[in-house]
Amino acid sequence: MPKTIPTQPRILLIGTGDTKADELLFMSDCIAKAGGETIMMDISVLGDPPYRPAHDKHAVAAAANTTIEAIASSGDENSAMSLMAVGAVNLVRELAEQDAIDAVIAIGGTMGTDLALDVAQALPLGLPKMIVSTVAFSHLIPPERVAADLMMILWAGGLYGLNGTCTAVLSQACGAIVGAAKSAIRPRKERPVVAITSLGKSCLRYMVGLKPELEKRGYEVVIFHTTGMGGRAMESIAAQGGFAAVLDLSLQEVANQLTGSVVNSGADRLENAGRAGIPQIVAPGAIDMVDFPAWLSIPRDLTDRPFHAHNRLLASATSRPIDRRRIAMAIADKLAQAKAPVAFVLPAGGVQQWDREGEALHDPDGLSAFIDAMRSAIEPPVELHEIKDHINSTVFNDTVLGIFDRWVEAGIVRPGQTTVAA
């Protein structure tokens, strides 16, 4: 059964009380006015807040198996806050496991944000989490630091003390986290969950056929849009063991990261499911594309490559054959590290809709270079299943489902739940 929605949700409020007491007390008041109960956690190192937090800096340090005195003398502010982050993560995880909190909100500049990002990643999907930060949505935050369902808001005007601009933001953030805690429906997990990575139907279409077939088999299917943060969300949930199987069939985020594109999911893309022991069926969907913001100039090393503008936000050019060989090796290396079975489906007929003859990204030489490199790079125990057809063909879907069904029969993938209790 889903968790009962609280009438007065318990909101864990995290911040450095020695330097941001005015802001934190204001937020506590906003949370109370919105119908929540505030639980304070102080992550100060040197000073003390003018209030008594439920979890003080000594408790945070103890959760890191150290003392606040040792943290203060650890070397510099970076080492000190890193140690406080360890303690905060351990303490917050324990509170969540004990069902002692309904949501978490943290406030900070770069220091507090650094710690809060670790805390958010330690929390389960569905427990509302928000960071009020002076660097929200900034290029300073790498994608691998972002939890799957993290909310962020820019702490505008939030450098030193309260003012009309920052109180507008803080009050909005507090209302949002209380509202989220009151209305959030946690995942019920009545059926085993299968993740599929893909793009829109204009580029990759396999999910249209795979989703209903997997649902018939008793699985809940979750599809992730692989435009950077979608792949990050999938990796974040996979790292927590949240899937019965992963059908990672769209890998251009891997290519983007290796070729320097900002449209990526971090260096650990294609690694977390295998590390967590989750079976994977993998295919190189859209692996030939290098994505970049459409509102910027085409990267200099791609100006002579086939080009496609998807919309005013996102554009793509094809990678060079030499890069595709490097990408193939990287994929094989990542899959070789997996602790569970992996099957790689190689569609020699093409890897996305726009690579067909007559389309904007048609590049037969580049495709051939990738296919050849992939054949050589994949080694047992990873299964290699090559088909002559395109990734958007029914043959591709049938191949993926054939592997999946065989794995279910062999006990590699947990059987689906075809009936769900009311």
Q: Do 173 and 38 belong together in one domain?
A: yes
Q: For the whole model, what pTM was predicted?
A: 0.85
Q: Do 305 and 402 belong together in one domain?
A: yes
Q: Do 48 and 147 belong together in one domain?
A: yes
Token pair for 52: 């008594």
Q: Do 251 and 109 belong together in one domain?
A: no
Q: How many distinct helices (H) and strands (E) make up the chain?
A: 13, 14
H or E element that contains 316: strand 314-318
Please report whether residue 4 resides in a domain: no
Write the single-letter amino acid at 255.
Answer: A
Outline where 98-251 has alpha helix (H).
110-122, 164-183, 206-216, 229-239
CB 120 within 8 A of CB 18: no
Q: Do 198 and 175 belong together in one domain?
A: no
Whether omega before 381 lies within 30 degrees of 0, making that bond cis, reads yes
Please report whether residue 287 resides in a domain: yes
Q: Do 54 and 78 belong together in one domain?
A: yes
Quote the pLDDT of residue 417: 87
Q: Do 345 and 215 belong together in one domain?
A: yes
Please report whether residue 28 resides in a domain: yes
Alpha-carbon distance 50 to 30, whole Å? 18
CB 206 within 8 A of CB 240: no
CB 217 within 8 A of CB 408: yes
Quote the pLDDT of residue 422: 46
Instruction: Indicate the residue among 125, 151, 183 that finishes a domain.
Output: 183
- Digit-coded pLDDT (tens) for 92-147: 999 999 999 999 999 999 999 999 999 999 999 899 999 999 999 888 998 889 99
CATH code of 222's domain: 3.40.50.12030
Q: Do 209 and 349 belong together in one domain?
A: yes
Residue numbers of the chain with a pLDDT score lower than 70: 1-5, 419-422
Q: Do 175 and 197 belong together in one domain?
A: no
The residue range of the domain holding 388 is: 193-410
Please report whether residue 150 resides in a domain: yes
Instruction: Indicate the residue among 152, 183, 214 that finishes a domain.
Output: 183
Please report whether residue 421 resides in a domain: no
Please report whether residue 416 resides in a domain: no
Quote the pLDDT of residue 190: 83
Q: Do 111 and 80 belong together in one domain?
A: yes
Q: Do 200 and 174 belong together in one domain?
A: no
Quote the pLDDT of residue 416: 92
**Given strand 37-42, what is the order of strands in its sheet?**
37-42, 10-15, 103-108, 129-133, 151-154
71 Cβ neighbours under 8 A, 6+ residues apart: 45, 61, 64, 80, 83, 84
Hunting for tokens 């905060």 — which residue is that? Answer: 88
Q: Indicate the number of domains in the chain.
A: 2
